[in-house]
Amino acid sequence: MAILVTGGTGFIGSHTVVELLNAGKEVIIVDNFSNSKPVVLDRIEKITGKRCKLIEADLLDYDKIENIFKENKIESCIHFAGLKAVGESVAIPLRYYHNNITGTLNLLDIMSKYGAKKIVFSSSATVYGKPKSVPIREDADLYTTNPYGETKLMIERILSDLYNSDKEWSVSILRYFNPIGAHESGLIGEDPKGIPNNLLPYIAKVAIGALPCLSVFGNDYNTHDGTGVRDYIHVVDLAIAHLHALERAEKVTGVEHFNIGTGVGYSVLDIVHAYEEAIGEKINYKIVDRRPGDIDECYADPTRAKELLGWQATRGIKEMCRDSANWQKNNPNGYDS
């Protein structure tokens, strides 16, 4: 019986497929390549020695997705596929709601039809909005500040309602904090289109001279050095969390939410200094105004994941920066290199 990984050639999806294959699981990837490339499958094969099935399809194409279930024995799904740029979601909200919500509704309807009632869903700490206190527990208030985050919260609620209507479902909702880094091989990593929105890929491009200078968005936040604090987690630790979540979903039914972070907050300047140490060079940066919508600090209380999933992050900020730099050095133009 196979595990269907939607968005499995993306940044977190590809790292998760590596861990699934290394664990001897049968994997089928479905991806529309809107934010990734088919070559990722070759890189996954180089790392694992295994080549899984890859089907190009969009979750909005109901019939094509149903055919995957007709032609393969699928027992569970890890659902990554979705648009995920916060700023873009504010500019084109209808595209985000249609793509993320309708795509997920199609997937869940087909999974129900074919009796595949185990799902691990890629959610985000963005559902906590501006937390009242840190570290953040799973029972913290939920509210969102952008359409992207709203789609994540809506899907969490859709999954709860689905379980309430059919108690055979096993649903594991993973709320990611800030995934960074890359597989130690340097063969797969984060390959954002155009100018990176997120901190690490931006720093990585400054480090190789592809961008001239990092803009640090504000140093007047209520944090130890005034710059924004986040819970950065190594993408391989995050990938491994999905295996633990899947294994739990195979044993229990119900809906469970987990904060997937390290529980440690680092500021922007902490990251800059850690990156400089990892590469042995200075990173050129300047302090500029705050980015609208940014919050002072956000980091997880990952106790629940440790207790119920038997998972905790093991890679520290040094490995995250080292592996991010290694990926960027080996792939200056990402997968186009």
Q: Do 232 and 266 form a contact (C-beta atoms < 8 A)?
A: yes
Closest CA relative to residue 171, chosen from 260, 253, 75: 253
Q: Which of residues 6-35 bind ligand WQD (CB under 6 A)?
A: none
Interface with ligand WQD (CB under 6 A), residue from 147, 181, 228, 263? 228
Residue 1 CB, shortest distance to ligand WQD, in Å, is 29
Rounded to whole angstroms, the Cα distance separating 193 from 324 reads 16
Nearest distance from C-beta of residue 66 to ligand WQD, angstroms: 28
Q: Which of 215, 219, 253, 303 binds ligand WQD (CB under 6 A)?
A: 215
* Binds ligand WQD by CB under 6 A, chosen from 124, 144, 170, 326: 124
Choosing from 96, 148, 232, 299, which is the catalytic residue? Answer: 148
Q: Which is nearer to ligand WQD, 55 or 90 (by Cβ)?
A: 90
Bridge partners of residue 230, in order along the sequence: 266, 298
Is 335 among the residues known to form the active site?
Answer: no
SS3 211: coil
- DSSP H helices, 166-281, are 199-207, 235-249, 268-279
x/- string (CB under 6 A) for ligand WQD, residues 148-177? ----------------------------x-
Report which residue's Cβ sits closest to ligand WQD: 228
**HSE-up (13 A, CA, CB side) for residue 105:** 11
Q: How far apart are the C-alpha atoms of 321 and 182, rounded to whole Å?
A: 9
Asked whether 177 and 299 are in contact (CB, 8 A), the reply is yes
Q: State yes or no: residue 178 binds ligand WQD (CB under 6 A).
A: yes
Q: Which of residues 277-296 bind ligand WQD (CB under 6 A)?
A: 291, 294
| Distance between CA atoms of residues 227 and 206, nearest Å | 19
Nearest to 76 by CA among 171, 147, 152: 171
In the region spanning residues 66 to 105, those forming contacts with ligand WQD, defined by CB under 6 A, are 84, 86
Range 195-214, binding ligand WQD (CB under 6 A): 197-199, 202, 214
In the complex, minimum distance from the CB of residue 321 to ligand WQD, in angstroms, rounded to a whole number: 14
Residue 198 near residue 269, CB atoms below 8 Å: no
Binding residues for ligand WQD (CB under 6 A): 84, 86, 124, 126, 176, 178, 197-199, 202, 214-217, 228, 230, 268, 291, 294
Residues noted as catalytic? 148
